[in-house]
Amino acid sequence: MAIDDPLTVAQACRAFREQHQASRARLRMIDAMLEKVCAAFGERPVVGLDAASLARWRASMPPPTRWQATQAFKQVTAWAARWKLVAEDPLAGLPNPRPWRAEVRPFDDWAQVDRVMRELPERLALLPILGAGCGLRPGELLGLDWSSIDLDSRVLHVRASVYERELRTTLKTRRSLRSVPLRGRVVEQLATAPGRRESGLVFASSDGRPLDLHDLRARAWRPALRAAGIEHPFRLYDLRHTYATWSLRAGVGIYQLARRMGTSVAMIDATYGHLAADAGDHERALLDAWDER
């Protein structure tokens, strides 16, 4: 396609997607965002995009969606300019600040986690302790198989995830495939779990299929919070935040924590970095112990 051709936004998005490679989860997110782009600008030439139209479009979306959709759009126009499909990138100078991230709130302590565990149905009782004790994402919890838990070596292997009741071995990122050491509290609960077996999903429906995450939240998780007398509307994902927060407070380093959680050091630093300062005393104690050998 020559530079003089009036490449439309829809054509640019389609061409970009045909060559772009990423994880399935990432591609689904990009597709969802580019649908919003094409709904607003699909038939317009890329070179005809103006600041006022872009500003109105961005203002029409909530902050998290605004940031993601604009990032996806900027990827498309940058790619088109790089491959000379358009003379210049009309979004090159468009600011796209990240939305303000609300401070995460972890569970107070294990006693609070245990209260929720006692109020859940027996087949779901391990959810809180595995979430807070291992830092798995909700989809990874639902994709956890008994064969991925090695109690002798005290290691849990993250190998699968559930999305819309479909078990997938293609995880969110390459880092998501990982091993997590099991603390004693988690080992004790797993060893005595009523439904423990050699293989099969740890959390499954009566017919052995993966659970529906939305249904689990509405029918089990939120009622358990209420029954436990917990007023704060904790999400399942807050169990992962709890793992990260407690790990940093215990002195686990950001790099090691990122590996255990299957994410980047930058993401850990951006979300929980302010907590790393709390680990200073622990770090000094380790260094002093080394020096005094």
Q: List, for residues 228-252, the tens digit of each pLDDT value.
A: 999 999 999 999 999 999 999 888 8
**pLDDT, position 222:** 98
263 in any annotated domain: yes
Closest by CA position to 263, among listed 171, 184, 147, 149:
171
**Would the pLDDT of 280 be above 90?**
no
d(CA 242, CA 109): 9
**Would the pLDDT of 2 be above 60?**
no
* CATH number of the domain enclosing 237: 1.10.443.10
125 in any annotated domain: yes
**pLDDT, position 80:** 97
User: Confidence class of residue 3 from pLDDT cuts 50, 70 and 90?
Assistant: very low
User: Confidence class of residue 101 from pLDDT cuts 50, 70 and 90?
Assistant: low
Domain that holds residue 185: 110-287
- Domain edge (last residue) among 82, 98, 119: 82
Tens digit of pLDDT for each residue in 110-163? 999 999 999 999 999 999 999 999 999 999 999 999 999 999 999 999 999 998
Please give the tally of structural domains in the chain.
2
Tens digit of pLDDT for each residue in 28-65? 899 999 999 999 999 999 999 999 999 999 999 998 89
pTM metric for this prediction: 0.72
User: Do 27 and 117 share a domain, yes or no?
Assistant: no
**Would the pLDDT of 265 be above 70?**
yes
Closest by CA position to 47, among listed 96, 1, 87, 2:
87
User: Do 146 and 270 share a domain, yes or no?
Assistant: yes
User: Do 53 and 128 share a domain, yes or no?
Assistant: no
User: Do 68 and 127 share a domain, yes or no?
Assistant: no
**Cβ(91)–Cβ(73) under 8 Å?**
yes
User: Confidence class of residue 99 from pLDDT cuts 50, 70 and 90?
Assistant: confident
Place of tokens 């002798």: 152
118 in any annotated domain: yes
